Amino acid sequence: MRSEELRIGVFDSGLGGLTVVKALTKVIQNADIFYLADTKNAPYGEKTPKQILQFSLDITQYFLDAYKIDILIVACNTATSAAIEILRERYPHLIIIGTEPGIKPAIEHTLTGKIGILATPATLSGEKYQSLANRVANQKNIQLFEQACPGLVEQIEKGEISSDETKKLLEQWLLPMNENGVDTIVLGCTHYPLVGKTISEIMHCDVTLIETGSAIARRTLDMALQRAHKNHGKCTIQMESTGSIDCQAAISILGQETVCHKINIINH
């Protein structure tokens, strides 16, 4: 790793991965973070694994060509499931960190043994999630309540975090969890922490929400320190998108000024 600033590339299909970027800024210093929202191809949760893999390969190569990144963070559960293994094979010298539903910390937090999983259809059907769920199924006193959330990412991208339509969708999905005494909910998409407050209000109980941004940030710092990163100085963020995006919403999520550009990536 070079002696100058750490260069981190982070991507997701939209604004959701900014929850990971925000977590990064709390622990990472002396770094340039490049965030790419692939809004042209959003939502990933409704694309095929082959399509998502190609998007991920194209974005990774772009980051390397444009910014010579040291670390790649796949800030998307769906893309992690579809692409992480091949990305690691293709780029063996690049630190690559993925995102997956926080089932393990959920098990550590639950008191009732009843855990809700909110995720995109693609994540729930993906091999990586299924492997995690199967391991959990073998544990006594743990019951998973899985719920696919089609359309929720689109609502969040439109800025309808607390709209009546969004609340209606969440109420429908959360009702079975409420009735069954779920006390811990895994937010299996990086967009979902943005509606965390609404989820807590709908559950009407002291529910624990598990998101992965902080764990990813700690993992990133650990990997960087292993390569002699000096974690002191400033941290900058530059955001780009392959299609339209609400920069003001991005700034609101991050709580700071963000350089915002629009770029084009050719997806083969």
205 is known as an active-site residue: no
Evaluated on CA atoms 12, 102, 188, 193, the torsion sign reads negative
Least confident among 91-100, 128-137, 219-228: 128-137
pLDDT, one tens digit per residue, over 97-131 is 999 888 889 999 999 999 999 998 888 888 888 88
Domain 103-210 CATH class label: alpha beta
Taking the whole predicted model, whether its pTM rises above 0.85 is answered as yes
Under the banding of pLDDT at 50, 70 and 90, the label for residue 266 is: low
Q: One of 76, 149, 235, 260 is an active-site residue; which one?
A: 76
pLDDT value for 250: 87
- Domain positions in the chain: 6-99+213-262, 103-210
Is-same-fold flag (6-99+213-262; 103-210)? yes
- Cα–Cα distance, 220 to 213 (Å, whole number): 11
pLDDT, one tens digit per residue, over 14-38 is 999 999 999 999 999 999 999 999 9
Under the banding of pLDDT at 50, 70 and 90, the label for residue 265 is: low
Q: One of 149, 189, 235, 260 is an active-site residue; which one?
A: 189
Evaluated on CA atoms 264, 265, 267, 268, the torsion sign reads positive
76 is known as an active-site residue: yes
Topology annotation, domain 6-99+213-262: Rossmann fold (3.40.50)
Mean pLDDT of 176-201: 94
Under the banding of pLDDT at 50, 70 and 90, the label for residue 268 is: very low
Beta-strand ranges (E) seen in 105-204 are: 114-119, 143-148, 184-188
pLDDT value for 172: 97
